[in-house]
Homo-oligomer: A and B are copies of this chain.
Amino acid sequence: MEFEAFTASELAAYLGAIPEIRALLGEPHDLEVAEVGDGNLNYVYFVTNTKAPERSVVVKQAPPFLRLVGKTWPLSCQRMEHEVAALRRFGALCPRHVPKVYHADSKRFLMVMQRLASHRILRQGLMDGVVYPKLAAHLSTYLAQTLFHGSDLFLAPDIKKEAMSAAVNSELCKITEDLVFTFPFEDHPSNVYSAALPASSLERLRTSEALRIAAGDMKWAFMNHAETLLHGDLHTGSIMVNEDETFVIDPEFSFYGPIGFDIGAVLANLLLAYFSRDWHGRIDDRDPSGYQEWLLVQVAEVWNGFSAQFLKLWREHESRGERGFIGGHAEARSVEGYRTHFMRRLLADTLGFAGCKMIRRIVGMAKVADITRIPDAQARARIEVRCLRCAEDLLVKRATLGSIEQVVMLAREVQRETITHA
């Protein structure tokens, strides 16, 4: 059967026929349907009772192709089942930061979920210079809760292997393997380069051995290191916020992968916001530096908050059990030494993934508005070059950047440097 997107009245009728949803939303003839999908993959609708606008849900439907490209890039619709399973798992682990799923229909490749009506996409908020006082605390909690509880540090090994096997997501992983880890490092036809981006910056991606080896390591880790259940696409467009609340949405890329991948995605997008602030923050002759500093504080607090909570969960879990991961009692000195070592390796992984994520947003097919909404081609290219420089350093120096504070210093240095175009 050919996939047809719902018309507004078809969707209202469909929802009216599901008792739980009808109870939530009211009568079909009172419903207003608005197509709001700006994603690359799916159709997304807000469905609202016009007589009682607080009665509202989100409906998400997965067409059997990559929406960004069209029917020439087919995708299996199973990704909706995948996303539902991930939302339910993450929701159980971290209910404060994951929207509720009210209904899932695997035949229609569709789900009905909590409407976050007073929240906006974090990327938009950051472009507008909004300060979210609880953002870092919320994101670090979400990351620690989800990433710890899917790993061998928490799950029994058989349960973890079963979860890993159930979460295999070859098709969407392939998109990441290609678009994040491979195509940006070659002259691929799907790449999109902004007009003024200097050739020397592109050239480095294809010739710098240290950079290419580092990116190869991250690709290998992405494809092989089945450490925990990841969100898999945790950029600032997958986060909805207001002053008080933070929700992580859209985990359709979810799979068992390296712990650092989700954290790296968050840090990469904060750093893209930081460098692009040099444009957005100067509109009307304002000074970008204050908000830029706030963004760097978020970088540090997301990692430090994550790290502290992850370690706390790990210590508490082992103190309840009979032994630590490395054998022996949970309190042994080397058990804590192993934890320190583990977190340092995890930071290195995180920075490597952050670097790859930044690079793909500059030279790859799928851009971010932080960058593309800079109308001045020269200013945009200057910012893109800084993003690429920072990304390269994150990748190449990931094992020697021993703390997130050094990452913050690195970002400041890259920002300060005078960029001369080749």
Contacts and interface: CB of A to CB of B under 8 A. Distances in A.
A331 to B, nearest CB: 13
Contacts of A342: 216, 220
A333 B210 CA distance: 11
B165 A224 contact: no
Contacts of A161: 168, 170, 173
A207 B334 contact: yes
Contact of A212 (B165, B177, B182, B326): B326
B171 A219 contact: no
Assembly stoichiometry (copies): 2
B158 A338 contact: no
Contact of A170 (B158, B209, B334, B337): B158
Given A182-B326, A328-B185, A333 B220 contact: no
Contact of A223 (B157, B186, B208, B332): B157
A342 B216 CA distance: 9
A280 B385 CA distance: 65
Contact of A224 (B152, B184, B185, B338): B152
Nearest to A211: B334
A82 to B, nearest CB: 13
Given A157-B223, A177-B157, A209-B334, A216 B326 contact: yes
Q: Which of A161, A164, A217, A225 has the most CB of B within 10 A?
A: A161
Given A164-B168, A186-B323, A216-B341, 19 more contacts: A157-B174, A157-B223, A158-B170, A158-B171, A161-B168, A161-B173, A181-B327, A182-B326, A185-B327, A185-B328, A206-B332, A209-B333, A209-B334, A212-B327, A212-B334, A215-B327, A216-B338, A224-B226, A224-B227
Interface of A: 152, 157-158, 160-162, 164-165, 168, 170-171, 173-174, 177, 181-186, 188, 206-209, 212-213, 215-217, 219-220, 223-227, 323, 325-328, 332-334, 337-338, 341-342, 345
